[in-house]
Structure 1
Amino acid sequence: MTQESQKKQRRLGVLIGGSGLIGGTLAHYFKSKTPEEFDIRAPSSKKLSIRNAQDIILYLQRLKPDFVINAAMASLDSDAQLAFETNYLGTVNLARACTALNISYIYMSSAAVLPHGENLAEEDRLPLKPNMTNYAKSKLMAETTLEYMGETMGLDYTIIRVAIVYGEHDHKIQGFHRLLFTIADESMPFLFTRRKVKHSHSNANKLPYFIHHILNHREEFSRQTYHFVDKEPVAFDDLALTIRAYLELKKPREIYVPYPVVQIGKFFLERLISFLGQFGIAARLPPEYMFLKDVYQSQTLSREKLEQSSFVDPAPKENIYTRLPSLIIYYLTRWGHLNLITRYKNEFFADDLEGDFLYRPEELLRSVHADSIAPFAELLETKGDDESSYLAS
């Protein structure tokens, strides 16, 4: 079989939102694990803005992919227009294109469309109301329209709902990583929750295996919604105290702050930020503050539908607790390099080259000049082969 015919057998996919935690994990998986089966394109927003219908039409018309995965989302605290255009209108325009091309559409949604409660099924969605957050409202509208397009237009879609996502390579401090950062930064003096309030978590590293599986089993997963969460929900207070124990800190202390007290504190912080703005000092509360009420109420998602499907969990014993040591090392190293947290600098990523760069730059410069500036031999060989081929032709 020729190389060209092998390429034709590979399925071509477009991944939207490849720079985020979920999108980046998907891009890495398909590039490293399935290069002979899939060819994934992850255009930046400069190449393809899903807020622009013409961008979508031109890009997909030229590429002619076999499927689209949409993992894009506006920031949690985006205004109404950006949330509407990115989370809803962009989602719908991609679906319109997929319907026209008769290709599969995988959409990443969120547990924000669900109420509080335990063992919530896929059908337990919130009613659409004006006072919802922009994020939850846009996600809920997107799900509703995809289902309607499946019924009326024949759209081949799968909706995957995730809860609190954890994993490496998240360039933003949000969700679970906000909790880890706040504890490591010692800026959480007490527990802002109630005892044993539980939430579901989603392992970003397992998600590509599920998407790979549903792409290979479209008949089973077409026009369906699935919760993709770990088997056991996690108590917020227990997780926070476990992180504290790993980091050998004294905070947060095991004192539970009532929600009304938190509301008062949030009110004064908002007034303070507004006051500072009058002096040209830009400050803002983390976007997760809009979900502050959620950490005082449980929300656990049912896995029954997922477990009854043909998908097999590639690592059934892996969860947030088993991943915690590696996540702590990864993020404290990253945040240390960015000078966001310096307390663990020497413990997690002390390096001889860093010491030379800080205290002996002249010695380091001489060493590089002596040993590390020669052209790469592999590239010189490649250049020689290319020249020989050109002369032979």
Structure 2
Amino acid sequence: MDQVLQKKNRCLGVLIGGSGLIGGTLAYYFKTKTPDEFDIRAPSSKKLSIRNAQDIIVYLKRVRPDFIINASMASLDSDAQLAFEVNYLGSINLARACSALKIPYIHFSSAAVLPHGENLAEEDQLPLTANLTNYAKSKLMAEKTLQHMMKEHDLDCTIIRVSIVYGEHDHKIQGFHRLLFAIADESMPFLFTKRGIKHSYTNATKIPAFVHHVLLHREEFSGQIYHFADEEPVELDDLILTIRAYLEVKTPREIYVPYSLVMAGKFVLERVAGFLSWFGITARLPPEYMFLRNVYLPQVLSTKKLQESSFIDPAPEENIYTRLPGLVIYYLTRWAHLNLITRFREEFIGNDLESDFLRHPDELLNSIHADSATPWPALLETEELAALPDDDDPADDGDSL
């Protein structure tokens, strides 16, 4: 990659999954922090479907990128076909393209491929069995095939495993944000976990700096898997109670619900949802319910390999607790705008204009017509300047051929 940077002014990269939390964070970073080094293209699935090999071939022949980053994923509750085609087949299609073009491939994987336990290393993986969830199975298969391609076909690839990702600008309510939503919505009456169960968390805002570093140091990071997570794991019950205290809500109460009781409740809810479908009412449990067992068992990723690498954490003091105030304000404001949560509406987004819009729309309309409906003066000045003759325009010189 260093040689490529010397030959070209900017490296051209293709980012898949740019609309997600990780992909969006990457796109924003490269656009604002490294505009002189990198030119990032983030085609939508309408322009480039990674499920279609021909789409990839045509697009890459035209763009000719210097590297590809794959941050795409199918929804957690996708059926077997979609999970296989997006998480596995799409990932391998991109890898085959990178292998042919001899360019680096950065692939994002998930802690879903790991067993439960603490101090889990990069070499650890679940056994590939039929009873895995579609998501975990497809992600695990992708990792195994990429490892095979790195060994047998000299694929220049780095696999980045993330744990529970947190960050702003996630338009989906999933993962950590599902937990935050449940507490804010006061729909979690008790603690659905055990005391002291620890999990690793991944700060989305730190990911781009690591990817940037990985791209610039291919000799060190090529052919490797890295766990990218905060150094210190988090006790789930402590995190839940911290969020509760921050939001000043009464629930969840500090009562730990046994796993057997939770599964019985899940069974009842599934039957109720099936019953409602008879009346044309669609009711679905959140996709995170498939990972209920995970909140009763620890999963702590070892970051020793990351810490011993040449990468330096740009904000070592940041973690889920330090980012929590900003996350709460951002997501409660967003959810209030979408009418998903009403309890905190006045606190986070209440203002005079909203009040007038709700209660006195006629008075608001008249005031806007009186004060705020005229053309913007700043743009009028621009139009006047554009109408003046341009001294550098040959057509204004008086002579023409």
Using structure 1 for the length normalisation, give the TM-score: 0.95
Provide, for residues 134-158 of structure 1, a one-character-per-residue CA deviation record: whole Å limited to 9, x for no partner.
0000001101111111111111110
Partners of 1:27 and 1:37 in 2: how far apart?
13
Runs of 4+ off more than 6 Å: none
**Aligned amino acid, residue 160 of structure 1:** I
Q: Does the alignment pair 1:359 with 2:359?
A: yes
Q: Residues 276-295 of structure 1: matches in 2 within 5 Å?
A: 276-295=276-295
Count of aligned pairs: 389
Compared CA separation, residues 246 and 367, structure 1 to 2 (3 A): same
Q: Does the alignment pair 1:10 with 2:25?
A: no
Compared CA separation, residues 255 and 386, structure 1 to 2 (3 A): farther
Name structure 1 gaps, 5 residues minimum: none
SS at match of 2:283: coil
Partners of 1:388 and 1:122 in 2: how far apart?
66
SS at match of 1:346: helix
- For 1:28, the equivalent position in structure 2 comes to 28
- For 1:214, the equivalent position in structure 2 comes to 214
Partners of 1:82 and 1:169 in 2: how far apart?
25
| CA deviation after TM superposition for structure 1 residue 368, in Å | 3.1
Partners of 1:169 and 1:104 in 2: how far apart?
27
**Aligned amino acid, residue 300 of structure 1:** V
Provide, for residues 145-192 of structure 1, a one-character-per-residue CA deviation record: whole Å limited to 9, x for no partner.
111111111111100000000000000000000000001101100001
- For 1:324, the equivalent position in structure 2 comes to 324
| CA deviation after TM superposition for structure 1 residue 359, in Å | 2.2
Partners of 2:322 and 2:255 in 1: how far apart?
26
Compared CA separation, residues 380 and 47, structure 1 to 2 (3 A): farther
Q: Does the alignment pair 1:377 with 2:392?
A: no
Compared CA separation, residues 225 and 386, structure 1 to 2 (3 A): farther
Q: Residues 253-332 of structure 1: matches in 2 within 5 Å?
A: 253-332=253-332
Partners of 2:380 and 2:107 in 1: how far apart?
41
Provide, for residues 39-68 of structure 1, a one-character-per-residue CA deviation record: whole Å limited to 9, x for no partner.
111111111111111111111110001111
SS at match of 1:226: strand
| CA deviation after TM superposition for structure 1 residue 372, in Å | 4.4
Compared CA separation, residues 351 and 128, structure 1 to 2 (3 A): same
**Aligned amino acid, residue 191 of structure 2:** L
Compared CA separation, residues 230 and 14, structure 1 to 2 (3 A): same
Q: Does the alignment pair 1:104 with 2:104?
A: yes
- For 1:345, the equivalent position in structure 2 comes to 345
| CA deviation after TM superposition for structure 1 residue 100, in Å | 1.0
Q: Does the alignment pair 1:229 with 2:201?
A: no
Partners of 1:246 and 1:297 in 2: how far apart?
26
**Aligned amino acid, residue 360 of structure 1:** H
Please identify, of 355-364 and 251-260, the stretch whose mean Cα deviation from structure 2 is larger: 355-364
- For 1:78, the equivalent position in structure 2 comes to 78
- For 1:45, the equivalent position in structure 2 comes to 45
SS at match of 2:254: strand
Partners of 2:384 and 2:103 in 1: how far apart?
41
Compared CA separation, residues 376 and 300, structure 1 to 2 (3 A): farther
SS at match of 2:249: coil
| CA deviation after TM superposition for structure 1 residue 360, in Å | 2.7
Compared CA separation, residues 196 and 7, structure 1 to 2 (3 A): same
Partners of 1:81 and 1:379 in 2: how far apart?
55
- For 2:124, the equivalent position in structure 1 comes to 124
Partners of 1:302 and 1:203 in 2: how far apart?
15
| CA deviation after TM superposition for structure 1 residue 391, in Å | 5.2
Partners of 1:346 and 1:384 in 2: how far apart?
44
SS at match of 1:161: strand
Partners of 2:387 and 2:199 in 1: how far apart?
57
**Aligned amino acid, residue 73 of structure 2:** M
Provide, for residues 329-367 of structure 1, a one-character-per-residue CA deviation record: whole Å limited to 9, x for no partner.
110000000000000001111122222222232333233
